[in-house]
Amino acid sequence: MATTNNKITASQPEMGLALNRRGFLVRALGGLSLGFFLPEAGHFFDLQAADPPPQQLANAYIRIFPDNTVTLLFGGCEMGQGTKTGLAQILAEELFVEWNQVKVEQSLVDPIVTYGTGGSSGVSRRYDRLRNAGAAARELLILAAMDKTGDTNRNNYRAQSATVVYTGPNAVSPGVWTYGVLAAAAALKTVPADLRLTNPANFRLIGKPLSRVDIPSKTDGSAIYGIDVWFPDMVFAAIKHCPTIGGVMATLPATPRGALAVVPCKASDTRGAITAGSVNAVAVVATDTWTAKNLANSLSVSWTLPASTAGVDSAAILAQAQSLMASGAGVLVAEPVPPTGYTPATYAPVIEGQVNSAMGTPTIDSTYSLPYVAHATMEVLNCSVKFAFNAAGAPASCEIWAPNQNATSVTTYAAAASGLLPAAIKVNTTYLGGGLGRKIEQDYVSQAVQVALVVKRPVKLTWMREEDFTHDQYRPMALVNVKAKLSGSNITAWAYRTVTPSISQQRGRLAAGAIDSQAVECARNLPYNLGTHVVEWVPSPAGIPVGYWRSVGASIHVFAVESFIDELAKSANVDPFTFRYSLLTDLPDNRARNVLAAADAMSLTWRNSLPAGRAWGVAIGEAFGTWVCEVVEISAPTATSITVHRVNCAVDCGMAINPNSVEAQMQGGIVHGLNATLWGQTTFTAGKANQKNFNVNRMLRLNEMPQITVKIVQSSTTAPTGTGEPGVPPVAAAVGNAYARLTGKRQRSLPFFPGAVMGGI
């Protein structure tokens, strides 16, 4: 149990213990403890992890104690997406406990197993395993009740409200036992083969819009985010990076008056290894954050800039992308799959020949451009660290508090920065004031550990907003060219080529000549009949650090694809809905068609009776297994904005575990997408990011919020798909399509209104 003055508590898992053949670890621990493996994170882990997650080890636990408390310990994170609530619902359902009888607690990080939250996986990828684990615990408790009755007929028992009720013929009094009473005996049983999973038709809790468990503490200041971790004897550090990307410190400046220390911080690569010699930041330590950041601002640091820095410029990066687009150098074919004997590179001329022959002169040839975008989480990056030192003054162990999406990698980074073994590092995952993909990276953790080692006191390192915006790992820029040939309202040829950096390639995790699936996410496997077609990717070598931004590649390619589809519809003089219906080949499940039809029905009346000066636009996209269609209504274009009046959103996320959370995630995703559509970008001049605070990173305010209506189209009751990210991608194209309808002008570059500013309040 770890406790700070801010009442952070986390529970200790049993470190790295193996599961049995059935995937469970049953122990007593003063009650019943059932360990199991909860799949963590989405596809980024598949790309990022050096080793696959060790699924034979427990990383989540159900604990039932004699006082009848039921707790799920898990190592993922809650960043506003409602994961804690969704998991509680799933567990309570299969364990047959009431909603108010289950708690979800953050567990400490076991350094041996993996934890992470991303890829819209927080609930969706954990559904099956958590149901099975809940059912396994319930069946163990029923086996314990059988000892009380002598009746081994399972049909003579039912679980209800955290009790086992006996309904058989034997004379037993009282015939009802609480889980707490049965827990210790249940821990001695073996999980039976038949787990009697609940028929979805009988769900009591899954699928209900239950209130979120974390919300009360988020209305009274008691929810503890990373930045809120506080000890009376803590010192405070403010980071100051070299403003120019790639620059390193030349000489360490003297500690200014009023500071406790100036600590050089070495850069870490994305696996947590400290890069020898590359001090790219200094941390100024003081008795409060205000003093630290003032001293950091006035501190003069001599930086050595790399020769390449002058070229790290948005205009030059765009020119380079245009050159790669035109020259065709480095083209890799992402779709169709190259036949045997070809690589993605050698197949290019073959398939291009076929497409060119089918294409002739394209009916439309359009190029779309997207910028780098910062994550802009409301809570800036921060990390608190406390070391224990041995008698010789060497570090013996450390405890870390970090708002993170990737607790496993917190341990990795801290071990690399401190030289400690992972087992000597205790990691607490706090609430996150937004993650949005930025808190998958742990550069800030490495820095905080380096600072704490020097100052030998508990320290909280904070990135002030200006550092957070200018040293992000940005959503990659992209250039997309699409050509297509129309015959009536059919597409007979389609050539899609994108030039964009690869996150995996920049991190050295992609083999030369291989396709980065995220770089072409939502550019291939489209639900449309495209005729003879090719999807190509040319990796951009631009040196701006890139990372996972809510919805990743989908945020790029859904904009290009769905804008272009509308351009084709206009050329064919066909209604955008009708045009899409006629192209859809999403058999056998019809999920794209279903959300399109739902959004069509939602918007039919209003969109056909809009007053002058208003227009509508539609777009559809898939991300993380979830289909979303959005229809927007806009008006009043100016040089810096438009008014978005409403968004109708139809979403098919499979089984909707909590419709209240699904609606919130669609609302949030749409706002996130609108910010990037209208204003969001980070530009670079001579290696420096230009947008340093919210005043020049305009975002939607409350008075600009459209009315969003969400319809959940539940195509399946068997499994959920992701909801955290899929609301983001369609909105940019939907607004662009409405804008073209309203003004006759097609917006092919994001953001639509670059340079917009935001005043104070």
Cis peptide before 588 (omega within 30 of 0): yes
Inter-residue contact 506 to 544 (CB < 8 Å): no
Return the residue of 24, 44, 45, 236 that touches other proteins, per CB under 8 A. Answer: 236
For other proteins, the closer CB: 32 or 210: 210
For other proteins, the closer CB: 438 or 485: 438
Return the residue of 160, 190, 685, 693 that touches other proteins, per CB under 8 A. Answer: 693
Cis peptide before 637 (omega within 30 of 0): no
Instruction: For the beta carbon of residue 3, count every other beta carbon within 10 angstroms.
Output: 9
Q: Taking CB under 8 A as the rule, does residue 462 contact other proteins? A: yes
CB of 660 to other proteins, least distance (A): 6
Q: Taking CB under 8 A as the rule, does residue 457 contact other proteins? A: no
d(CA 712, CA 417): 46
Of residues 574-613, those binding other proteins (CB under 8 A)? none
d(CA 657, CA 210): 10
CB of 312 to other proteins, least distance (A): 26
Q: Taking CB under 8 A as the rule, does residue 176 contact other proteins? A: no
Q: At what angle do helices 443-455 and 407-418 cross, to 10 degrees?
A: 40
Q: Taking CB under 8 A as the rule, does residue 702 contact other proteins? A: yes
For other proteins, the closer CB: 462 or 492: 462
Tokens for 534, please give them. Answer: 């090719």
Q: Taking CB under 8 A as the rule, does residue 316 contact other proteins? A: no
For other proteins, the closer CB: 585 or 693: 693
CB of 469 to other proteins, least distance (A): 10
DSSP bridge pairs for 176: 165
Q: Taking CB under 8 A as the rule, does residue 667 contact other proteins? A: yes
The piece of 107-115, 221-229, 386-394, 732-740 that touches other proteins (CB under 8 A) is 221-229
For other proteins, the closer CB: 436 or 542: 436
For other proteins, the closer CB: 99 or 581: 99
Q: Taking CB under 8 A as the rule, does residue 221 contact other proteins? A: yes
Tokens for 411, please give them. Answer: 């341990």
The Cα-based distances of 640 to 24, 643, 698 in angstroms read 57, 11, 10
Q: Taking CB under 8 A as the rule, does residue 740 contact other proteins? A: no
Question: E strands of 256-407, at which residues?
Answer: 261-268, 274-286, 302-304, 332-335, 364-370, 382-389, 395-402
Identify the residue whose tokens are 């040829």: 493
Of residues 335-394, those binding other proteins (CB under 8 A)? 376-380
Q: Taking CB under 8 A as the rule, does residue 471 contact other proteins? A: no
Edge-first strand order for the sheet with 163-166 is: 157-160, 163-166, 176-178
DSSP class of residue 90?
Answer: H
For other proteins, the closer CB: 227 or 546: 227
Q: Taking CB under 8 A as the rule, does residue 223 contact other proteins? A: yes
Inter-residue contact 461 to 239 (CB < 8 Å): yes
User: Mask 708-737, x = binds other proteins (CB under 8 A)?
Assistant: x-----------------------------
Number of residues that bind other proteins (CB under 8 A): 69
For other proteins, the closer CB: 112 or 705: 705
Instruction: For the beta carbon of residue 752, count every other beta carbon within 10 angstroms.
Output: 20
25-27 and 478-487 as β-strands: parallel, antiparallel, unpaired? unpaired
For other proteins, the closer CB: 261 or 569: 261
The Cα-based distances of 103 to 6, 11, 64, 213 in angstroms read 20, 12, 11, 9
Cis peptide before 501 (omega within 30 of 0): no
Return the residue of 52, 150, 174, 232 that touches other proteins, per CB under 8 A. Answer: 232
CB of 187 to other proteins, least distance (A): 33
- How far separated are the first and last CA of the chain, in Å rounded? 42
DSSP class of residue 424?
Answer: G
Q: Taking CB under 8 A as the rule, does residue 640 contact other proteins? A: no
Return all residues near 202 (Cβ < 8 A) that are at least 6 apart. none
Q: Taking CB under 8 A as the rule, does residue 230 contact other proteins? A: yes
Inter-residue contact 665 to 82 (CB < 8 Å): yes
The piece of 126-134, 208-216, 617-625, 649-657 that touches other proteins (CB under 8 A) is 208-216
CB of 435 to other proteins, least distance (A): 8
Interaction site with other proteins (CB under 8 A) = 5-6, 79-82, 211-212, 214-225, 227-228, 230, 232, 236, 258, 287-291, 376-380, 431-436, 462, 464-465, 660, 664, 667-672, 675, 693-695, 699-703, 705, 707-708, 758-761
